[in-house]
Amino acid sequence: MVRHTPRTALVVAAASLLLAGVACAPSAVEPNPTGSAGTSATGTAGQSGTGTAGTSGGAGVAGGTGGESGAAGTAASGGAAGTSSAGTGGTAGTSGGAAGAAGTGASGRGGAAGMGGRGGGAGTGAGGRGGATGTGGAAGTAAGGRGGAAGSATAGTGGGGTAGAGGSGTGTATFMVQVQLASAVNSAAPGTIGIVTWTVNVSALTEAHIDFGLDTSYGMTAPVDLTLTDHRTLLLGMKPARTYHFRIVARDASTTYTSADYTVMTGPASTTVFISKFQVLNATARKRGFIITSYWAGSGLTVPFIIDGDGEIVWWGRGGPSGGIARARMSADGKNMWFTSASNTGQPLQRLTMDTLTAQTYTNVVTSHDLTAVSGETMAYLDYGEKDCQSIYEIVPSGTTKEIFESTGIVNSTGCHGNSLRYSQKEDQYTYSEVSQDVFAINRAGAVQWRLSQKVTGGNSTWGGIQHGQQLLDNSIIIFANNGGGTNMSALYEYSLTGQQLMRVVTGDYSANLGDVQRLPGGNTLIDFSNASVMKEIDPQGNVVLQINGASGTRFGYALWQENLYGPPVDISQ
């Protein structure tokens, strides 16, 4: 096990970079939607005097006489100081809330009035968000209005109003940012994983995230765990050998702070695992996302990996079981990649943190074929360490396990072979495949709810007698029927929960071992023909819209589509 918590920033190779930035409030923002702006009823009020223009601030945030004010009025009573020479100041306007005193100093371009929240009274400081007194028109720090522009001169006596209740805005903060690649910490780790640590001079943050992508439109978002030291956050899903942009967005109870834009150059592509083909047949109909998979035979059989929506391998692990990986699966909290062996006798369960820097092998947990995310850090697996048929256990990273389902007396012990496991959050149930017997629905108390063979007329012979991957949906279940297409042809079957056949798709491909199915958001289905080392995404009419082929001589393990690499996988919520 290797644990690293480096503090050195790295952008390319071993070079270090410390990034400091100031997030600035915009010069104009939308006003609070409640109340009409307190505009002056008396024109520009206060063009006066013959002296040199002073430095009075903009008009205070004045509430209108009828109801709560929204954005500060442009030149409310006591409006903007005149640009002619100041005498004793102009006459204040007669409406639009309490009049700000005309500037008695030299009037000039004071800080723009803070666009106040509800009913801000006239204040005495620099105009800015929330109307806090400041110099040079800097935005105040009081909660409330939607942040006026920072002023360009010292405020006069007619500063922005005190912030009212409610509203939100943008603010100014200083970020200290470090970024490095996982490969800089461990040369065996991918150079496509970014590790960002950062601090900001704002207390009591309520939420933060990092926007990142190939340009400043970003496109991907990494949530930040505010409980972690230095807000350590991984950038996952980056392509190899590209320059990526990122920025940090942080919020407290009332204000949003955005860092400057930073860049990081990713490392080279994997040299341990490959695919041979990624063919988009219908770009409009396909569902873009990431596919988590592995090989259980051929080169790279100890490497779990992730393919992005363009067919590039953007994440890869190492050190998997020698018998090949049947299933690689991320936890629901997105922090760990778990993987299990394809061996029929079972091998120890393994886990790798998503930065690939910490690995753990659970020597007392013997498992094979499949495992599934449940919630948070909890996973469930098929136990192959017992002398009887396979049972369902749950596990957390500490190694604590809990038996959920005991198969003795329920699964026929003659030739039993548990081979597929999935979890449904909506039903709080597992679906469990016993290769040549049945598909069982089991609640988390371990009680069998139903068996598919008892719903479908003719039992499992209807779909060919053998199945592997399966998924419970709201009103149906889909299964990978290894012999369901006829001689040497597999098929996708979908049955209603009352046993009616809803779909049967035969593409001409065959897999005697493993094989998987997943319904995607929007109605497409991903079919994984493991032994043929081919995956096909089909639309609801059965048309192939995407095809992926593994490297020559390989056999895919199970596969899982995810829209992004953060948070719960979509299949457990369907």
Give percent of the chain with pLDDT exceeding 90. Answer: 67
**Which tokens sit at 415?**
């030739």
Domain regions of the chain by residue span: 18-24+172-265, 128-167, 275-573
How does residue 409 score in pLDDT terms, banded at 50, 70 and 90? confident
83, 120 Cβ separation under 8 angstroms = no
The sign one gets for the Cα dihedral 183, 189, 193, 194 is negative
Helix, coil or strand: residue 462: helix
Given a cut of 60, whether residue 104 has pLDDT beyond it is no
Task: Kindly list the distances between the CA atom of residue 416 and the CA atoms of 398, 514, 552, in Å, as whole numbers in the listed order.
Answer: 30, 15, 32
DSSP string, 67-125: S---SPPTT-SS-SPPSS--SS-PPPPSSSSSPPPPP-S-----PPPP--SBTPPP-SB
List pLDDT tens digits, range 516-560.
999 999 999 999 999 999 999 999 999 999 999 999 999 999 999
Whole-number pLDDT of residue 168: 59
Average pLDDT for residues 241-262, to the nearest whole number?
A: 97
- The Cα–Cα gap between 306 and 240 comes to 12
Given a cut of 80, whether residue 369 has pLDDT beyond it is yes
> Considering only 134-138, 256-260, 285-289, 399-403, which range has the smallest mean pLDDT?
134-138
> Considering only 143-147, 227-231, 337-341, 403-407, which range has the smallest mean pLDDT?
143-147
Task: Kindly list the distances between the CA atom of residue 104 and the CA atoms of 82, 92, 109, 180, 479, in Å, as whole numbers in the listed order.
Answer: 11, 13, 14, 54, 81
Q: Which residue has the higher pLDDT, 563 or 115?
A: 563
Given a cut of 70, whether residue 115 has pLDDT beyond it is no
Distance of CA 364 to the CA centre of its chain: 33
Token look-up 């109909």 returns: 285
Enter the CATH code of domain 275-573: 2.120.10.30
- The values of phi and psi at residue 340, to 5°, are -130, 155
416, 384 Cβ separation under 8 angstroms = no
Query: If 0-12 CB within 10 Å is exposed, 13-18 middle and 19+ buried, where does residue 374 land?
Result: buried
Strand partners, 526: 518, 537
List pLDDT tens digits, range 492-506.
999 999 999 999 999
**Which tokens sit at 324?**
């090949």
Whole-number pLDDT of residue 46: 38
Task: Kindly list the distances between the CA atom of residue 50 and the CA atoms of 56, 87, 300, in Å, as whole numbers in the listed order.
Answer: 15, 5, 84
Task: Kindly list the distances between the CA atom of residue 130 and the CA atoms of 123, 160, 328, 521, in Å, as whole numbers in the listed order.
Answer: 10, 8, 51, 44
Q: What is the mean pLDDT of the chain?
A: 79
**Which tokens sit at 382?**
């098929």
C-alpha Rg value of the chain to the nearest Å:
31
List pLDDT tens digits, range 512-524.
999 999 999 999 9
Given a cut of 90, whether residue 102 has pLDDT beyond it is no
Sheet holding 544-550, edge to edge: 275-280, 544-550, 534-538, 525-529, 516-519
Q: Which CATH number fits domain 18-24+172-265: 3.40.30.10, 2.60.40.10, 3.20.20.70, 3.40.50.620?
A: 2.60.40.10
Given a cut of 70, whether residue 49 has pLDDT beyond it is no
Task: Kindly list the distances between the CA atom of residue 411 and the CA atoms of 52, 391, 419, 495, 546, in Å, as whole numbers in the listed order.
Answer: 95, 10, 13, 22, 37
pTM: 0.73
